[in-house]
Every structure is written in C-alpha cells, then in structure tokens.
Structure 1
C-alpha cells in the first residue's frame, strides 16, 4: 500500500501540540535551507534541537548534538534534512528515543523509514516542509 500523509487537520494538531523539534542535518550555515527553516520555526516559538555530528557547539543558540540519542530531554518531532537513502537509521533512532513524529522534509521520502517509524508508534509525514505547513495551518502562531 502506498504511503499517504496525514490529513491537514492532524498535521495542524501535531504542530499545535509540539514544542521540541529535533532537526537532523541542521546546518550551521545561515544560507542553507535547513538553517532558514529551523530559524523560522524557532521564531514561531518551537524549541529547535540541532542534530549534526559535524558541528560542535551551538546552532541558533541551542546546543548541537551528534545524534538523537544524545538529546537529554523529550522530542516531539524529528524533522529530517538528510537524503532519502539516509533516513532509515534516523527512523530507528527516533523510535529509540520515543519521539512522537518523524517528519521528512520536502523532497525526502523513504517507505522503509516510514514503516519503521510507524511500527514504533510514531506518526510520519514525508515530502512536506514543516515551515510551509506551519505557516499555512497556524498563520497566527501556536
């Protein structure tokens, strides 16, 4: 059966209820899409948790972690800026940390990653930009 994203109503509920967004593949370079999207979400009131093993220190004023498992607190959404073929281990780790949602950014889709996340109790959104969805569904903010 082909993957189908959640309804817009459910995505709005998820965004409204979520606070901590771990961004896997977040760049520390302001001209990168991942940085721009994360910065916009941070300005909307989400706590962004950078995940990038190549960056030490902080991104957007938040401690950057090498992996999802290194994050000391709860994660609502795992937002992924990695190539589609690199998302299976991210899905496995998202299940391990008991995240609520695996969100693969625009242009990213992987049926195996979705199946792993869903089997682990996560809701899955693929090939959608979290910033665009938030702007459309919660234009006035959370």
Structure 2
C-alpha cells in the first residue's frame, strides 16, 4: 500500500532538522547498545534539547537529559516527538500526542516504524509526520550542521 501523502524531500528534512530545537524521544533506552540511546546521544551532541520518555527511566536522566514517564509529563512543549516504538505502538503514541493541550510541529517515526492511519490523524492536525527514517542518519547524510 502506498501513501497518498507526498514524501518529503531531502531539503524538507534538512529544514526540519535545522528548525527543531527540542525533542522528546519516546521509547528512549538507557542501554548503550540500543539505537534509541545512540540517537539520543547524537542529538544531544548536536545541541538539541532532548527529553527521554520512558516510564522505567522517569525521574532519572539519560546522558544528562531529563527523563519522564509519558508525554503528558513533559515540563514544556517540544518541537518534535521521535518514536522508538513498533508500528502498532506508534498509533498509541500519536493518540497520546493528540490528547495533549499543545502540538509538536513534527512527529518522527524511526526506521521500520510506519503507521499510516496514525500519520493521517496527525497530519489532519497540522503536524508534519516523517516515517521509516532516522534523524541521526538524515542529519549526517544531508549535511545538516547547526548553523
């Protein structure tokens, strides 16, 4: 099944990664072997403000960044929510996002994570949705840099 939504160009992705400043990583792990840990470390090293969203880490910190149990526990709105959960669980995360009294400008579903119905709901609320991509990989491949 193909999406009726046009895909974003490399320039679009580059622009998003330059505009975003604050990121919540849903499914962040404290295990250095996990991709979510590696991506969190990379984003922090590039100057992004990152908050880990994982009930098991709530009240702790991950790489010096705060951790909360759920999106509703974020201390302030974020520009982007990066989802490190499976495709079915991504739908629940989008539902949680849409229940908040604020909206991120971007929902990013990691490599292998695709949920078209959830993406359509978010897009209907004016949120840019990126699926099956990794911000770390795109940052490097597109030469984003932080100007």
TM-score, normalization by structure 2: 0.90
- Give the CA deviation at 1:92: 2.0
Deviations 1:27-77 (A, max 9, x none): 011111110111011101111110001223111112211111111212111
- Matched residues, number: 142
Q: Is residue 77 from structure 1 mapped to residue 80 from structure 2 by the alignment?
A: yes
Other-structure match for 1:36: 38
- Give the CA deviation at 1:140: 3.6
- Give the CA deviation at 1:17: 0.6
Tell me which of 106, 110, 114 is aligned to 1:105. 110
Q: Is residue 7 from structure 1 mapped to residue 22 from structure 2 by the alignment?
A: no
Q: Distance in 1 between matches of 2:67 and 2:7?
A: 29
Q: Is residue 87 from structure 1 mapped to residue 90 from structure 2 by the alignment?
A: yes
- Give the CA deviation at 1:139: 4.7
Runs (5+) with no aligned partner, structure 2: none
Tell me which of 102, 106, 122 is aligned to 2:127. 122
Change (3 A) 1:140 1:102: closer
Q: Secondary structure at the match of 1:64?
A: strand
Tell me which of 45, 48, 52 is aligned to 2:54. 52
Runs (5+) with no aligned partner, structure 1: none
Other-structure match for 1:133: 138
CA RMSD in angstroms comes to: 1.5
Greater CA drift, 129-138 or 119-128: 129-138
Change (3 A) 1:99 1:139: closer
